[in-house]
Amino acid sequence: MARSAARTLTGAAPSPDEAARAIPAHEDARREIRNWYAHLMGERRVSAATLVNYHRDLTRFFEFLADHLGGPADLKALATLELRDFRAFVSHRRGEGLTSRSVARTLSSLRSFYGFLDRTGIAASATLKALRSPKLPHGIPKPLTMKGAETLLEGARGAKVEWIAARNVAVLTLLYGCGLRISEALGLDREDAPLKDVLRITGKGNKERLVPVLPVARDAVDAYLSLCPHAPVPGGPLFVGTRGQRLDQRQVRQTMIDLRHSLNLPETASPHALRHSFATHLLAGGGDLRAIQELLGHASLSTTQVYTEVDPARLLEIYDKAKGRR
């Protein structure tokens, strides 16, 4: 149980057995949690980050039920929960400070679990489906300016340990220069280097895409590898921490926090903001929305179109060109 919790905290997905053991549920419910989790890992092949979120959300749900029902929930209890019970859970999580976006994600996790129970004939999911997800505010990406991105990458060279400075530059350059998600960059293995002209990335929903690699990104990775004190391990990670283990997302996020404070960058400067910057700067430079959609791995063009709201002038230009083709 402790091992599973440790994995969750570091962003690594626990195994189905570990996931089930870590949740305070009755034994029969744990069995189905394990089966659901194995289904997600095997058949659905969801990402490690999604598995961690699902596991965290389900853990909070069963913790709530243990208190709400007076003991660990079993399958019979899960099948007889009413709408008011789910609403009580949402209210409880709201009271703990959960945002609308986090509540919506939590309900999505529960619907996935109940959908699995429904398909296997254990418990119907109709009650949960009747519970509406909260309306989410329409957010506009907050990228760095081109100057801000340059300042950030230059500032990353200032780490006291030379090889760590080179590693940080390489990771951040991949986020900004290739539009990778942080999980995608840190998921690269040692055999992926030296980087070729194109990277084959498996992103959300197990969707593959090809991403061109700029020479500056390739050079940054080469510089990091030439200084890294840890010997390469077959099948091992490309980016490592001080102990030679795969670099954790939390370390990169902390690096970004330190850099934005020392460089006086906006609070929105995060690893994901570099991906936003990649897309926005490409669009501002005349990039095609469809091409940017493919580079980012978005399933829908509407997801990519949000970047046009960052640069209204560019949006008008796209509109005028489209009008001229009619």
Task: Establish whether 105 is a catalytic residue.
Answer: no
Q: Which residues contact 78 (CB under 8 A, 6 or more apart)?
A: 29, 114, 117, 122, 123
User: Which of the residues 68, 204, 209, 253 is marked catalytic?
Assistant: 204
Q: Are the C-beta atoms of residues 174 and 149 closer than 8 Å to each other?
A: no
Residues 123 and 117: their CA atoms lie apart, in Å, by 5
DSSP code, position 161: S
Residues 303 and 228: their CA atoms lie apart, in Å, by 37
User: Which of the residues 260, 275, 276, 281 is marked catalytic?
Assistant: 275
Q: Are the C-beta atoms of residues 317 and 292 closer than 8 Å to each other?
A: no
Residue matched to tokens 């007889």: 80
Task: Establish whether 181 is a catalytic residue.
Answer: yes
CB atoms within 10 A of CB 134: 15
User: Which of the residues 26, 55, 93, 181 is marked catalytic?
Assistant: 181
Task: Establish whether 138 is a catalytic residue.
Answer: no
Task: Establish whether 243 is a catalytic residue.
Answer: no
User: Which of the residues 60, 281, 298, 314 is marked catalytic?
Assistant: 298
Q: Which 3-state string (H, E, C) describes 21-89?
A: HCCCCCHHHHHHHHHHHHHHHHHHCCCHHHHHHHHHHHHHHHHHHHHHHCCCCCHHHHHHCCHHHHHHH
Task: Establish whether 298 is a catalytic residue.
Answer: yes
User: Which of the residues 26, 167, 307, 314 is marked catalytic?
Assistant: 307
Task: Establish whether 307 is a catalytic residue.
Answer: yes
Q: Which residues are catalytic?
A: 181, 204, 272, 275, 298, 307
